[in-house]
């Protein structure tokens, strides 16, 4: 069957960015210039022209911008996303008959100039070509508006006159008209790409955030008393001063009594054991209630406001699972799996049993009500002032639920940030991000050698992954005390936090366990903490001399002062002749940072870095100053090979800011085009 | 808005093969086993299962086959395409509750066996698990049919009995049931991929063909007489004996008189000059007429039958352009571009003019009738017995036209082969293949060094390109006499035909110019032939001593006897320490060929080949026989490093058949899984 219009000769394909053929939105940040590329071409030798159309879903207008050719039939255009929320974009292109005519005219004029003899047949060429151009101008004038229409009509008359008078135009005379004519294409023959590709725009914190996790119940300065929101409030100035901007609390809901776990995950709890905050729900309520020992709803709102006063946001941990005492267990037994004996199925990973946890059943016949209730949990806390959620084990809840739930929340409030705490297989990790999670935990914890780190970060900081996935790096969590921390001593902690803070624009620590160097595992070979705060209240001496707080504060200050560290797309690795040393750079406009880190927690390591000067925008003969922002010491470097020696027990890394030296013929770094996915 | 069914927990994505997100069909060959892979996964730890569904468009039934896991959430299944034409395939997957239950049961049994004490709580585990399994078996039995239903119901009863009697099953007892249960999934919760992906299946000649192009008008043995179809008939036995299976003729239609070109593209023709066959149409007719000097329609049909009797097919050149004398010019002036002076626009590439050619206007308001008329040209010749068309300059006709036209032809006759003669930018070349062209001319002619050849062939013989593009290699054409042939002497001709015949399962030559070594360019720096047959009749001495016909015959015989050379997907390059030597292998099941070719047309070149033994399926300690199929000489090789020395004036290449030697512990080559896109 023939198409409705067979004269749409232009083909548009391979549009980037797109995620799964447009099935999921790409992601960008408010203020980003979104660069869109595509292969656009037609049969024959005619020129093509086209435009990128883009629209925020709540806007009426669909602005457009002309595409410009790159190379090899690739075209590009960009638009700035000046509102958070859902955008769509697509491309439209057509044969540029006027541009084709104009290029041919120039060739005809040049040929006539070069011709030895002005044969009779050739002498007809230019006037005839001018008449053809006049027709095209007349058609464009009819489609055009205002001053453009007048200009085109006037030019049409001029060109007809030239043809009558056999006057030759100047070849470049019509150059600027091409763009004007293409503002008014004959869209009957234009090809519109058959999809409007979705693009989700988050606020800036989605790209750059620094998280501090603590257990409120351990926040009391009085060892005999359960910590409260008020105790956390008292810590806010200190944590803010360390440079964190997200204060993240494990679940704050009533904790179940049934099968409550004792210290160190003991299956029997003693009276007075506080239980795990992830065993959610009791007679006092479920996911929208507050554990009474922490405070009231008013106390919580006050904590939110105090955090905000210190330029921090409060993030809540949302764990969609229930203790046997959760109100939903009796109110909605259909939301759980029932066993043949009529009991409710607790969490299991045979032979392990988690009898204090009932998973929700996403195959429930009452799934619609279940989805709504879970959605309403987020909604409730948003109304309490929370805009950031860390979601516990999202990979054990149905992916279609997340896609619906996050999209519903985002319709009302596009500023809400969801961090996916999923440590599972790559496809599932990425699928959660595609389903809408703003940021994601990563395998960073288990990437320890230089080769492992480079391979992994080259994957997760470049397209196509960066179109939908934003890493958030954690050296530790209440669930994960990696062997590098157990065995690496103070150097190990320094290494991991420097890596996290400089490899990832988003990172966080679980404190004060981290800065105080807590490194005792539950048992040999385990990644669980001994005396984990998950099961008991801990008292921390935040003012201990050995605290890494000063280093962390300095790192966070460097992050705030250096835009290069506030996005990930520019990450680039530089070879070092010692595999224990990892070297990488990040840049943003003229802010260029270079990190060299010794990954050996014991031995001093030294080596020669082979800097990719071209990538850094440094000339081969250029000298440059590198200032270690951790120590304030300046070094004078020159050329690609530069030597570093790093003693892990002192400071395992240089975090250099690179500045070209004045003199010579280079006074500033060569500008390198910023990647589309980063904001400058 | 919530989905209609929120319990479809499985995600299916990244299905391969697919071309432009399913916009265009992938291509395969009759008899191929089409391997389909996809990422398939769900939330949590439940097992998944699924099936590949596939259907020929003319069949009612949609058979399916179970998918099997590869690694990292990738799954695969295959189906054999036993009919040419359009197929569609898609995937469906669901949570395998029975398989999940079964795996958990095994863990429970193992845990119980290892348990030091059989605590009361644990002792309940197995019976309860058995009852859960019984429920699943009962549900599956209700969905199942025939013997399967009986078996499942019977097993359900057994399992219930075991639970009653507290008997433990054997862990492996239900292994084979998993597959049976998954034959009857609850499709209410199954995810069906949202597209039926198209797959076009061609007959075998689309994959493996050997073309010989000649000008019928030069086929006369009597120099005073214009060649005829009967003269071509007389050559058929000789060309068939050389091993060609496609005899391809330049346009056979009446040649225009207006602006007829003389010898060497002279703008003035003398009386008696035959003109270019590509200036199509005269008072005697257009694209469905035959140039009278060649013979009648009956003569043509006879030639078709004679070719067929020699296992050859006749291919026609279809050039959609008109001489000013073509009947369409007066019958359908709307199909051409009219200039402002009322004249019809001839072909131009300013300042070059081709006044003997009127291009068709694909922006004609009468495009529907134009499309139909062009389609009907193919249709006419198909009714004359032609099943292969070489299409001249398809890239100067609208791409949507080709997509429609080829699809229309293929609906009636899926065996028709279209070869795209497009030498243009990569996106346009590939887009023609996506639009339906069966085979495509390539840049082979302009890829001459080893590095150029390797880079280009690694692109065009691997997915994603092989999903839609099939190269057809031509060392020469009537339009292209490359400098390698102009300057390379006899060695140059040998090199290029050996490369074409062994790098490409589809290749062709324009003869007898090729085998007779015609190498004189129209002028220095030109790729046109001097005294090109395009403009004059040539007389060739096919029996000349210097003819390369014996070498070409031998190459074609090797191609027929060695399935390895009959497809391209297995092509693999092996490093050589001399850049003048290129080494590559192809294999099909246990047929393994290895080519080493000296690309220097003058000097002997020698070097060490570093064979990729693992790819070849040869053990490191294994000896193997290599027989040069061009000379019959055997060599005894061992290990990865092997020496060759090639004298271009004698024979610039070895075409080895590799056979492992008996003895040792390896008596045959290790089977390497064939690529999906090749037929064994």
Query: What digits encode the pLDDT tens for the residues B569-579?
Result: 999 999 999 99
Centroid of chain to Cα A144: 41
pLDDT tens per residue across span A327-366: 999 999 999 999 999 999 999 988 888 999 999 999 999 9
pLDDT score for A223: 85
B47: left (phi over 0), alpha (psi -120 to 50) or beta: beta
CA distance A232 to chain B (A): 34
- Tell me whether B396 touches chain A (CB under 8 Å): yes
pLDDT score for A174: 87
* DSSP code per residue over B34-101: EEEEEEEE-STT--EEEEEEEEETT-S---EEE-EE-STTEEEEEEE--SSEEEEEEEEEEE-HHHHH
Q: What is the CA radius of gyration of chain A?
A: 31
Measured CA to CA, the distance from residue A165 to residue A131 in angstroms comes to: 12
> For B2, which residue in chain A has the nearest alpha carbon?
A404
Averaged pLDDT, B41-53: 97
Confidence of residue B514 (pLDDT cuts 50, 70, 90): very high
Contacts of B404 in chain A (CB under 8 A): 1-3, 6
pLDDT tens per residue across span A494-523: 999 999 999 999 999 999 999 999 999 999
pLDDT of A117 strictly over 70: no
User: How buried is B379 (Cβ within 10 angstroms: 0-12 exposed, 13-18 middle, 19+ buried)?
Assistant: middle
pLDDT score for A346: 96
Are A362 and B395 an interchain contact pair (Cβ–Cβ within 8 Å)?
A: no
> Which residues, numbered 513 to 572 in chain A, qualify as contacts with chain B under a Cβ-Cβ cut-off of 8 Å?
none
> Which residues, numbered 42 to 81 in chain A, qualify as contacts with chain B under a Cβ-Cβ cut-off of 8 Å?
42-45, 72-73
Contacts of A401 in chain B (CB under 8 A): 6
**Most B CBs within 10 Å, among A2, A18, A402, to test the B interface:** A2
Averaged pLDDT, B115-141: 82
Are B13 and A20 an interchain contact pair (Cβ–Cβ within 8 Å)?
A: yes
Give the closest of A14, A351, A428 to B107, CB-based.
A351
pLDDT tens per residue across span A613-655: 999 999 888 899 999 999 999 999 999 999 999 999 999 999 9
The residue written with tokens 């040393």 in the block is A581
Which structure tokens are listed for B676?
Answer: 């999906």
pLDDT of A665 strictly over 50: no
- Tell me whether B166 touches chain A (CB under 8 Å): no
Confidence of residue A206 (pLDDT cuts 50, 70, 90): very high
Measured CA to CA, the distance from residue A305 to residue A299 in angstroms comes to: 10
Measured CA to CA, the distance from residue B567 to residue B570 in angstroms comes to: 7
pLDDT score for A672: 43
Contacts of B428 in chain A (CB under 8 A): 41, 43, 73
pLDDT of A115 strictly over 60: yes
Going by C-alpha positions, the residue among A346, A163, A152, A330 that lies closest to residue A267 is A346
Q: Percent of chain A, pLDDT > 90?
A: 91
Counting one residue from chain A and one from chain B, the pairs whose CB atoms sit within 8 A come to 161
pLDDT score for B621: 84
Are B111 and A362 an interchain contact pair (Cβ–Cβ within 8 Å)?
A: no
pLDDT tens per residue across span B299-310: 999 999 999 999
Which structure tokens are listed for A559?
Answer: 């992050």
A249-253, B113-117, B407-411: the lowest-pLDDT one:
B113-117
pLDDT score for B352: 87
Task: Tell me if residue A590 is catalytic.
Answer: no
User: How buried is B222 (Cβ within 10 angstroms: 0-12 exposed, 13-18 middle, 19+ buried)?
Assistant: exposed
CA distance A16 to chain B (A): 13
pLDDT of A671 strictly over 80: no
Torsion of CA A292, A293, A296, A301, to 10 degrees: -130
Q: Write the CB contacts of A577 (distance below 8 Å, at least 6 apart in sequence).
A: A607, A608, A610
Task: Tell me if residue B13 is catalytic.
Answer: no
**Most A CBs within 10 Å, among B1, B8, B11, B357, to test the A interface:** B11
Is residue B294 within 8 Å of B217, Cβ to Cβ? yes
Is residue B67 within 8 Å of B76, Cβ to Cβ? yes
Averaged pLDDT, A441-459: 98
Q: What is the CA radius of gyration of chain B?
A: 31
Averaged pLDDT, B382-402: 98
pLDDT score for B662: 61
Contacts of A341 in chain B (CB under 8 A): 128, 131
Which structure tokens are listed for B274?
Answer: 């035959």
- Tell me whether A108 touches chain B (CB under 8 Å): yes
Which carries the bigger pLDDT value, residue B674 or residue B44?
A: B44
Contacts of B21 in chain A (CB under 8 A): 21-22
DSSP conformational letter for A269: P
CA distance B131 to chain A (A): 6
Going by C-alpha positions, the residue among A259, A238, A255 that lies closest to residue A247 is A238
Contacts of A425 in chain B (CB under 8 A): 41, 72-73
Confidence of residue A114 (pLDDT cuts 50, 70, 90): confident
Mean pLDDT of chain B: 94
pLDDT score for A578: 98
Give the closest of B11, B341, B400 to A128, CB-based.
B341
Cis peptide bond N-terminal to A464, omega within 30 = yes
Is residue B512 within 8 Å of B494, Cβ to Cβ? no
**Most A CBs within 10 Å, among B3, B113, B119, B340, to test the A interface:** B340
Going by C-alpha positions, the residue among B246, B215, B249 that lies closest to residue B506 is B246
pLDDT score for B673: 41
DSSP SS3 for A495: helix
Angle at B280 between CA B352 and CA B315, to 5 degrees: 115
CA distance B424 to chain A (A): 9
Going by C-alpha positions, the residue among A485, A406, A481 that lies closest to residue A440 is A406
pLDDT score for B332: 98
- Tell me whether A410 touches chain B (CB under 8 Å): no
Give the closest of A8, A128, A362 to B9, CB-based.
A362
Q: What is the complex's ipTM, to 2 decimals?
A: 0.94
Measured CA to CA, the distance from residue A504 to residue A499 in angstroms comes to: 8
pLDDT score for A474: 98
Q: Write the CB contacts of A117 (distance below 8 Å, at least 6 apart in sequence).
A: none
pLDDT score for A173: 81
Is residue B445 within 8 Å of B474, Cβ to Cβ? yes
Are A371 and B400 an interchain contact pair (Cβ–Cβ within 8 Å)?
A: no
Confidence of residue B605 (pLDDT cuts 50, 70, 90): very high
Is residue B338 within 8 Å of B344, Cβ to Cβ? yes
Give the closest of B2, B11, B348 to A404, CB-based.
B2
CA distance A225 to chain B (A): 37
pLDDT tens per residue across span A98-111: 999 999 999 999 88
pLDDT of B284 strictly over 90: yes
pLDDT of B664 strictly over 50: no
User: Which DSSP helix (H) or strand (E) runs through A642?
Assistant: strand A641-646
User: Which DSSP helix (H) or strand (E) runs through A317?
Assistant: strand A313-318
Cis peptide bond N-terminal to B649, omega within 30 = no
The residue written with tokens 């990696």 in the block is A482
Are A104 and B8 an interchain contact pair (Cβ–Cβ within 8 Å)?
A: no
pLDDT tens per residue across span B238-251: 999 999 999 999 99
A2-16, A136-150, B159-173, B419-433: the lowest-pLDDT one:
B159-173
Measured CA to CA, the distance from residue A198 to residue A538 in angstroms comes to: 46
Averaged pLDDT, A230-237: 98
Averaged pLDDT, A55-80: 97
pLDDT tens per residue across span A134-188: 999 999 999 999 999 999 999 999 999 999 999 998 878 888 899 999 999 999 9
Contacts of A396 in chain B (CB under 8 A): 43-45
Which structure tokens are listed for B433?
Answer: 């293949």
Give the closest of A20, A349, A427 to B73, CB-based.
A427
Averaged pLDDT, B29-53: 97
Which carries the bigger pLDDT value, residue B151 or residue B119?
A: B151
Are B3 and A400 an interchain contact pair (Cβ–Cβ within 8 Å)?
A: yes
pLDDT of B128 strictly over 90: yes
Contacts of A43 in chain B (CB under 8 A): 362, 395-399, 428
Is residue A383 within 8 Å of A301, Cβ to Cβ? no
- Which of B92, B96, B160, B392 is labelled catalytic? B392
Contacts of B399 in chain A (CB under 8 A): 9, 11, 42-43
Q: Percent of chain B, pLDDT > 70?
A: 96
Averaged pLDDT, A472-489: 98
A38-47, B122-131, B336-345: the lowest-pLDDT one:
B122-131
């Amino acid at each position: 069957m023939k198409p409705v219009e067979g004269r749409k000769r232009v083909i548009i394909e391979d549009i980037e960015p797109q995620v799964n053929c447009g099935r999921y939105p790409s992601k960008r940040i408010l203020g980003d210039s979104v660069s869109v590329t595509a292969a656009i071409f037609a049969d024959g030798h005619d020129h093509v022209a086209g435009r990128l159309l883009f629209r925020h879903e709540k806007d009426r207008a669909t602005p457009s911008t002309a595409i410009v050719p790159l190379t090899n039939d690739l075209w590009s255009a960009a638009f700035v996303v000046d509102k958070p929320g859902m955008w769509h974009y697509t491309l439209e292109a057509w044969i540029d008959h006027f541009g084709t005519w104009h290029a041919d005219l120039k060739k005809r004029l040049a040929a006539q100039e070069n011709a030895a003899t002005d044969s009779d047949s050739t002498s007809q060429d230019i006037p005839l070509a001018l008449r053809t151009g006049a027709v095209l101008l007349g058609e464009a004038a009819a489609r055009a508006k205002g001053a453009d229409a007048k200009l085109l009509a006037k030019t049409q008359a001029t060109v007809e006159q030239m043809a009558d008078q056999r006057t030759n135009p100047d070849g470049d005379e019509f150059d600027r008209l091409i763009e004007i004519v293409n503002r008014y294409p004959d869209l009957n023959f234009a090809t519109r790409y058959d999809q409007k590709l979705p693009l989700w725009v988050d606020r800036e914190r989605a790209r750059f955030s620094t998280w501090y996790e603590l257990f409120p119940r351990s926040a009391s300065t009085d060892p005999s008393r359960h910590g409260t929101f008020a105790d956390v409030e008292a810590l806010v100035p200190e944590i803010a001063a360390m440079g964190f901007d997200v204060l993240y609390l494990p679940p704050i809901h009533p904790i179940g009594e049934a099968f409550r776990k004792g210290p160190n995950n003991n299956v029997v709890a003693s009276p007075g054991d506080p239980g795990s905050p992830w065993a959610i729900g009791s007679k006092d309520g479920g996911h929208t209630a507050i554990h009474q020992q922490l405070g009231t709803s008013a106390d919580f709102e006050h904590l939110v406001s105090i955090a905000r006063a210190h330029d921090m946001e409060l993030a809540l941990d949302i764990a969609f699972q229930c203790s046997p005492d959760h109100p939903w267990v009796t109110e909605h037994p259909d939301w759980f799996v029932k066993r043949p004996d009529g009991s409710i199925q607790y969490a299991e990973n045979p032979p392990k049993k988690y009898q204090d946890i009932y998973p929700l059943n996403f195959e429930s016949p009452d799934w619609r009500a279940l989805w709504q209730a879970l959605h309403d949990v987020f909604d409730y806390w948003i109304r309490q002032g929370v805009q950031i959620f860390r979601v516990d084990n999202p990979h054990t809840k149905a992916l279609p639920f997340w896609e619906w739930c996050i999209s519903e929340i985002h319709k009302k409030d596009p500023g809400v940030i969801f961090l996916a705490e999923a440590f599972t297989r790559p496809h599932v990790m990425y699928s959660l991000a595609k389903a809408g999670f703003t940021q994601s935990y990563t395998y960073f914890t288990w990437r320890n050698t230089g080769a492992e780190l480079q391979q992994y970060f080259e994957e997760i900081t470049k397209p196509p992954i960066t179109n939908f996935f934003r890493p958030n790096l954690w050296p530790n969590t209440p669930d994960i005390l990696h062997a590098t921390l157990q065995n690496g001593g103070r150097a190990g902690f320094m290494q991991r936090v420097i890596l996290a803070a400089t490899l990832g624009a988003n990172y966080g620590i679980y404190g004060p366990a981290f800065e105080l160097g807590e490194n005792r595992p539950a048992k040999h070979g385990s990644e669980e903490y001994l005396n984990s705060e998950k099961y008991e209240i801990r008292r921390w001496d935040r003012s201990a001399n050995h605290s890494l707080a000063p280093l962390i504060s300095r790192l966070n200050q460097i992050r705030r002062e250096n835009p290069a560290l506030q996005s990930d797309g520019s990450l680039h690795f530089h070879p070092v002749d010692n595999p224990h040393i990892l070297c990488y750079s990040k840049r943003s406009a003229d802010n260029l940072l270079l990190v060299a880190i010794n990954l050996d927690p014991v031995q001093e390591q030294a080596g020669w870095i082979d800097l990719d000067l071209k990538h850094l925008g440094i000339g081969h003969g250029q000298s440059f100053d590198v200032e270690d922002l951790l120590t304030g010491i300046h070094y004078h470097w020159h050329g690609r090979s530069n030597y570093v020696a790093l003693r892990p027990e002192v400071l395992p890394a240089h975090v250099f800011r690179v500045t070209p030296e004045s003199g010579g013929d280079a006074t500033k770094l060569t500008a390198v085009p910023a990647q589309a996915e980063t904001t400058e």
